[in-house]
């Protein structure tokens, strides 16, 4: 694949991530497909939609991070692992989008910003070296998993459909973090971890509403 082909592919991936179709194709069906909708109040639907909008924005960031790292990773095996993880994140995007549409809600209007920033971070991490690139993956997935855990605690008990979706997403994120660690992820310096947490907090607070 030529450099121009890579650029075209990345732009295509970015557009499909930022501007979701009504029905996104994915390898795995949503875990919530077999769960019947339960009656929810308008207030509960609004809360759940906000949480799922945040989760969707997080998956946009993860997709961009993996794409950026796959582009600049030095070892071919790392590129392959990043591409595989990115493919699983597409499943998560599809699941979150489907649930949002079921709630008559939409993804975040700020996804362009989240994708652009995360792609640049991913590409920079790849240039810094595969160990640091994997370190970003491990830390990102730890923080995403922690966010999902917090959302699981906030969900109304009767919303089983969203719960099973988030449970599967959390399991996948833990596997991605373990993959990065097993592949030789370096521990990130504490200031970088804190910066990631601050950035993540900004994303979650704004995406909940916008």
Query: Is residue 35 classed as helix, strand or coil in its secondary structure?
Result: coil
| Better-predicted residue by pLDDT, 97 or 22 | 97
Average pLDDT over residues 121-149: 83
Structural domain contains residue 200 = yes
Predicted pLDDT at 107: 93
Predicted pLDDT at 4: 67
| pLDDT value at 176 more than 70 | yes
Binding-site residues for Fe cation, in ranges, read 59, 89, 92, 141, 173, 176
Range of the domain at 64: 40-208
CATH of the domain at 158: 1.20.1260.10
Structural domain contains residue 91 = yes
On whether the pTM is more than 0.85, the answer is yes
Structural domain contains residue 73 = yes
Cα(188)–Cα(15) distance, integer angstroms:
30
| pLDDT value at 137 more than 80 | yes
Structural domain contains residue 179 = yes
Average pLDDT over residues 99-113: 93
% of the chain with per-residue pLDDT over 90: 32
Token duo for residue 160:
């089983």
Of the candidates 30, 25, 38, the one whose C-alpha atom is nearest the C-alpha of residue 99 is 30
Of the candidates 174, 113, 122, the one whose C-alpha atom is nearest the C-alpha of residue 143 is 174
Predicted pLDDT at 1: 64
Predicted pLDDT at 55: 93
DSSP per residue over 124-185, as a string? Answer: HHHHH-HHHHHHHHHHHHHHHHHHHHHHHHHS-TT-HHHHHHHHHHHHHHHHHHHHHHHTTP
What's the total number of domains in the chain?
1
Tokens 């969203």: give the residue: 162
Binding-site residues, in ranges, read 59, 89, 92, 141, 173, 176
DSSP per residue over 58-89, as a string? Answer: HHHHHHHHHHHHHHH-SSHHHHHHHHHHHHHH
Structural domain contains residue 16 = no
Predicted pLDDT at 99: 94
Structural domain contains residue 13 = no
| pLDDT value at 130 more than 90 | no
Cα(189)–Cα(78) distance, integer angstroms:
21
């Amino acid at each position: 694949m030529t450099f121009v082909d890579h650029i075209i592919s990345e732009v295509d991936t970015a557009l499909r991530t930022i501007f979701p179709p009504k029905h996104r194709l994915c390898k795995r069906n949503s875990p919530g497909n077999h769960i019947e909708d339960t009656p929810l109040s308008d207030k509960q639907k609004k809360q759940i939609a906000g949480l799922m909008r945040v989760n969707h924005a997080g998956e946009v960031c993860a997709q961009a991070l993996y794409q950026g790292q796959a582009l600049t990773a030095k070892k071919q095996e790392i590129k392959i692992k990043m591409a595989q993880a990115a493919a699983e994140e597409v499943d998560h995007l599809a699941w979150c989008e489907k649930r949002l549409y079921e709630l008559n809600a939409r993804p975040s209007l700020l996804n362009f910003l989240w994708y652009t920033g995360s792609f640049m971070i991913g590409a920079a991490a790849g240039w810094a070296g595969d160990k640091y690139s994997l370190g970003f993956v491990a830390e990102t997935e730890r923080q995403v998993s922690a966010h999902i855990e917090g959302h699981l605690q906030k969900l109304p008990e009767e919303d089983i459909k969203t719960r099973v979706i988030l449970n599967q997403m959390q399991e996948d994120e833990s596997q991605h973090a373990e993959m990065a660690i097993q592949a030789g992820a370096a521990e990130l310096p504490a200031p970088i971890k804190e910066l990631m947490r601050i950035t993540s907090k900004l994303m979650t607070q704004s995406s909940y509403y916008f």
